[in-house]
Amino acid sequence: MASDVRPLAVCLKGPTAAGKTAVAQELVRELPFQIISVDSALVYRGMDIGTAKPAPPILAQAPHRLIDIRDPWETYSAGDFRQDALAAMRDIIAAGQIPLLVGGTMLYFHVLQAGLAPLPKADPTLRAEIDREAADKGWPALHDELCRVDPTAASRIEPADAQRIQRALEVYRLTGEPLSELQRLTEPDHDYRFCSIGLIPADRATLHRRIESRFRRMMDCGLVEEVAGLLGHALMTEDAASMRAVGYRQIVQHLRDEISIEEAERRAIVATRRLAKRQLSWLRTEPGLLEVNCMAEDTLHRVHSLLSGEKSFVQPSA
């Protein structure tokens, strides 16, 4: 059988707080990688603390493409990401290096590798009908409906995520087919050879402690002030897509005087743990994923071992 001569792209995936940035930073030091961020929140300017955006010294040493490319009142879709990521990959390969796609937005990884599903366009009438149902019953009730018609999609969407619940129900009602099934049937239309590595925690409790301590550091570093500053911009609204990011929406609720700061912190930590659970659920279903325990002391060495069979690499620097 002929060898696969397509250009290589490495995907470094994992739940939030798994240590992806630290591993990627070291890989860039030792192998001919350029990093492309795969994170739906890092695309926004000014959202630095609550997204755990890499600090300027890290970005100077290991630049990340697709960070700070939108204002937080603008929209950014999975289709936008795919177009931008493929363009970045072409540039990196043309420069004689290898794309290293790093992040935890599993939908972005999916559309990049599997292609975009031929989904129906938005139907304003149907969306208005779903909005009326949500106003009457609440979005959690519509999430329950989604659990019945498309449990796979529902498992990846929070009960309060109005935008994604609406779209999944819209697609089902327009086509009679689950959104997840239509996405599964999509054919790839790229010409890359993907190597996917998952940083998976062997101990979920330790990951939860990491999540909690990291969020408390975010609070100490001024997350409330960051969100207040964003909301103070003339073009910004509280219901912008960026403000639905985990951590941000709970602080928005506090700034609306709906909940105390203690409750906002508690809810944000719980929501982040749930996000990690959904990310891990997605990774468990991915065929061909190469798993590495992100809690091990030799995580970087294990990642190197998985990459050692790839002929595209030069030898690591001494």
160-186 pLDDT, tens digit each = 888 889 999 999 999 888 888 887 766
Q: How many domains does the chain have?
A: 2
Q: How far apart are CA 195 and CA 312, in angstroms?
A: 12
Q: What is the CA radius of gyration of the chain?
A: 20
Would the CA dihedral through 251, 254, 260, 266 be positive or negative?
negative
The pLDDT, as a whole number, for residue 82 is 93
Token output for 14: 């994992």
Q: How far apart are CA 238 and CA 48, in angstroms?
A: 18
Q: Which helix (H) or strand (E) holds 195?
A: strand 193-200
Name the phi and psi angles at 171, rounded to 5.
Answer: -60, -45
Q: Name 291's bridge partners.
A: 198
Same domain, yes or no: 208 and 303: yes
Region of residue 140 (left: phi > 0; alpha: psi -120 to 50; beta: else): alpha
Q: Is the pLDDT of residue 1 over 70?
A: no
Task: Return contacts of 303-311, CB within 8 angstroms, 24+ apart.
Answer: 303/12, 303/23, 303/27, 303/197, 304/30, 306/195, 306/197, 307/10, 307/31, 307/195, 307/197, 310/8, 310/195
Name the phi and psi angles at 13, rounded to 5.
Answer: -115, 160
For residue 78, the enclosing domain spans: 8-116+186-307
Q: Is the pLDDT of residue 90 over 70?
A: yes
Same domain, yes or no: 199 and 299: yes
Residue 170 counted as domain residue = yes
Residue 281 counted as domain residue = yes
The pLDDT, as a whole number, for residue 311 is 57
Q: What is the pLDDT of residues 25-52, one digit of tens each?
A: 999 999 999 999 999 999 999 999 999 9
Q: Is the pLDDT of residue 316 over 60?
A: no
Same domain, yes or no: 93 and 169: no
Same domain, yes or no: 202 and 299: yes
Average confidence (pLDDT) over 88-93:
97
When pLDDT is cut at 50, 70 and 90, the band that residue 318 belongs to is very low
When pLDDT is cut at 50, 70 and 90, the band that residue 317 belongs to is very low
Q: Is the pLDDT of residue 143 over 60?
A: yes
The pLDDT, as a whole number, for residue 187 is 61
Token output for 116: 């975009």
Q: Is 146 helix (H, G, I), strand (E, B) or coil?
A: helix
The segment with the largest mean pLDDT, out of 8-17, 183-192, 283-292, is 8-17
**Number of C-beta neighbours around residue 124 at 10 A:** 8
Q: Is the pLDDT of residue 308 over 60?
A: yes
Same domain, yes or no: 229 and 106: yes
Q: Is the pLDDT of residue 315 over 50?
A: no
Same domain, yes or no: 139 and 219: no
Burial of 69 (0-12, 13-18, 19+ CB in 10 A): middle
Same domain, yes or no: 128 and 255: no
Q: What is the pLDDT of residues 52-66, one digit of tens each?
A: 999 999 999 999 999
Any idea what the CATH number is for the domain that residue 158 is in?
Answer: 1.10.20.140
Name the phi and psi angles at 207, rounded to 5.
Answer: -60, -40
Same domain, yes or no: 223 and 193: yes
Which of 184, 213, 232 marks a domain boundary? 184
Q: How far apart are CA 279 and CA 277, in angstroms?
A: 5
Same domain, yes or no: 163 and 283: no
When pLDDT is cut at 50, 70 and 90, the band that residue 313 belongs to is low
Which of 184, 206, 235 marks a domain boundary? 184
Candidates 124, 161, 125, 126; CA nearest to 143 is 161
Burial of 232 (0-12, 13-18, 19+ CB in 10 A): exposed
Q: What is the pLDDT of residues 179-236, one digit of tens each?
A: 888 877 666 667 899 999 999 999 999 999 999 999 999 999 999 999 999 999 999 9
Same domain, yes or no: 23 and 94: yes
Torsion of CA 259, 262, 264, 265, to 10 degrees: 180
Q: pTM, whole model, 2 decimals? A: 0.83
The pLDDT, as a whole number, for residue 118 is 75
Name the phi and psi angles at 113, rounded to 5.
Answer: -85, -35
